[in-house]
Amino acid sequence: MNKSEMKYMKKEFYFSKVIRAEIFFTPFLIAIPLIVGLFFILDWYTRGFLEGNTAFYGELILGIIIIVGNITFDIPFVKSLRVLSKKK
Amino acid sequence: MVKVAERLRDTKIKINSLDFDAHWYRRAFHAFGASFLIYYILPDVDWINILKFWIPLFIVVLVIILELLRLTGKISSDHFFGLRMYEKNRVGSYIFFAIAILILLRFFPQQIAIPCILCATLGDPIIGEIRKRFSMNYVYLFGFLVCIFFFMIAWFRSDALLFGLASIAGGFGAIIGETKKFWWLDDDFMIQMIPAFLLLIIWISIPYLGLGYPGEIIYPGTIPW
């Protein structure tokens, strides 16, 4: 695929809409993975750590990966939002 | 009353005047996909199993219908933020992404599905950023290392031979799936399905190699009430 095909489609702003779909989804996009990651860590803590069961280490690692992975991409995403809205 | 209506209208305009960087929106959307791993921790109870069967299927069917409506022009592409130019007249990547996750959740053991999903949700955006900043050689090297890491986590409780074999095969499959791009088949599908099939071959061979299956990584929860 060439570079022009990899560009993002331009879109018009619709101020008249109730709320644009991407804005509506943004809180879920950020919050849900963090909740899921914390849920994995909580499950490791209650069923693994407190009961001394090492089988739950996988859940701990996955929880950390989900949280760290998402925060890594959420920070520049939220930052880009702020910069662009300032420009406007 | 009029003032409240005016305020609501102003707030709506303010919210809708916010702008996103499509590039980072797409990255965040990818990473969000890791949330689907909650599927495995949901309790193994009849009514929850019914929901586990129907909800992912419902989501995929819904997005396919929306995509069909977009491609036939019944819904404007303006409603779909972050699409690339090549997706204008083609099925969007998110459909491939969703279908691959559904296939993995439904038909593959979690030891195969979890690392493959992580490759698409976290590995793919990391590789994308490496590609943007460095040369392709770095993409192959670091992409392979990132993906291999996910397979190591999933197979860390298996025999050493199996652990090494699965990690290398998975990492290799994922990087092939990510770097080979076709117009008609998206890398979001390939990065999940190529390593999944390679690992499925290993999975089927396990008894013939005289080895034991690796343990699960996520255990279904229990209902506290």
Alpha-carbon distance B224 to nearest alpha carbon in chain A (angstroms): 12
The answer to whether the CB atoms of A74 and B23 lie below 8 A apart is no
Q: Which of B8, B10, B85, B90 to mutate to probe the A interface, most A CBs <10 Å? A: B85
pLDDT (tens, 9 = 90+) of chain B, 225 residues, equals 678 878 877 776 666 666 777 889 899 999 999 999 999 999 988 899 999 999 999 999 999 999 999 889 888 777 777 777 777 788 888 999 999 999 999 999 999 999 999 999 999 999 999 988 887 778 888 999 999 999 999 998 889 999 999 999 999 999 999 887 777 788 889 999 999 999 999 999 999 988 889 989 999 987 766
Domain of residue B84: give its range.
29-205
Alpha-carbon distance B153 to nearest alpha carbon in chain A (angstroms): 7
The answer to whether the CB atoms of B16 and A32 lie below 8 A apart is no
Q: Based on the structure, what is the number of domains in chain A?
A: 1
Q: Based on the structure, what is the number of domains in chain B?
A: 1
B38 contacts in A (CB within 8 Å)?
Answer: 36, 39
A43 contacts in B (CB within 8 Å)?
Answer: 41, 221
Asked if residue A8 is part of any domain, the answer here is: no
Q: Which residues of B20-57 are buried (b: 16+ CB within 10 A; e: fewer)?
A: bbbbbbbbbbbbbbbbbbbbbbeeeeeeeeeebeeebe
Orientation angle between helical segments A21-43 and A57-87, nearest 10 degrees: 160
The answer to whether the CB atoms of A77 and B221 lie below 8 A apart is no
Asked if residue B224 is part of any domain, the answer here is: no
pLDDT, one tens digit per residue, over B11-70 is 766 666 667 778 898 999 999 999 999 999 999 888 999 999 999 999 999 999 999 998
Please name every residue paired with A8 in a beta bridge, in sequence order, or none if there are none: B84
What is each CA distance from B169 to B11, B173, B188, in whole angstroms? 52, 6, 18
B19 shares contact with chain A (CB less than 8 Å): yes
**pLDDT grade for A83, boundaries at 50, 70 and 90:** low
Asked if residue A66 is part of any domain, the answer here is: yes
Asked if residue A4 is part of any domain, the answer here is: no
Alpha-carbon distance A50 to nearest alpha carbon in chain B (angstroms): 15
Asked if residue B179 is part of any domain, the answer here is: yes
The answer to whether the CB atoms of A65 and B122 lie below 8 A apart is yes
pTM of the model: 0.88
Asked if residue B153 is part of any domain, the answer here is: yes
**pLDDT grade for A88, boundaries at 50, 70 and 90:** very low
Asked if residue B18 is part of any domain, the answer here is: no
Q: Which of A62, A79, A88 to mutate to probe the B interface, most B CBs <10 Å? A: A62
CA dihedral A56, A59, A65, A68 (to 10 degrees): -100
Asked if residue B120 is part of any domain, the answer here is: yes
Q: What pLDDT does A85 receive?
A: 52
Average pLDDT, chain B: 88
> In this model, does residue A3 exceed pLDDT 70?
no
Query: Which residues are CB-neighbours of B180 under 8 A, at least 6 positions away?
Result: B187, B190
B8 shares contact with chain A (CB less than 8 Å): no
Asked if residue A7 is part of any domain, the answer here is: no
Residue in A18, A66, A73 closest to B24 by CB: A73
Q: What pLDDT does A23 receive?
A: 76
Query: Which residues are CB-neighbours of B172 under 8 A, at least 6 positions away?
Result: B144, B195, B198
B146 vs B151: CA distance, rounded Å: 9
B38 shares contact with chain A (CB less than 8 Å): yes
The answer to whether the CB atoms of B20 and A81 lie below 8 A apart is yes
Average pLDDT, chain A: 82
B51 shares contact with chain A (CB less than 8 Å): no
Phi and psi angles of residue B45, each rounded to the nearest 5 degrees, phi first: -125, 150
B83 contacts in A (CB within 8 Å)?
Answer: 8-9
Domain of residue A34: give its range.
29-88
Asked if residue A72 is part of any domain, the answer here is: yes
Query: Which residues are CB-neighbours of A57 under 8 A, at least 6 positions away?
Result: A44, A48
> In this model, does residue A75 exceed pLDDT 60?
yes
* Complex ipTM value: 0.88
B24 shares contact with chain A (CB less than 8 Å): yes
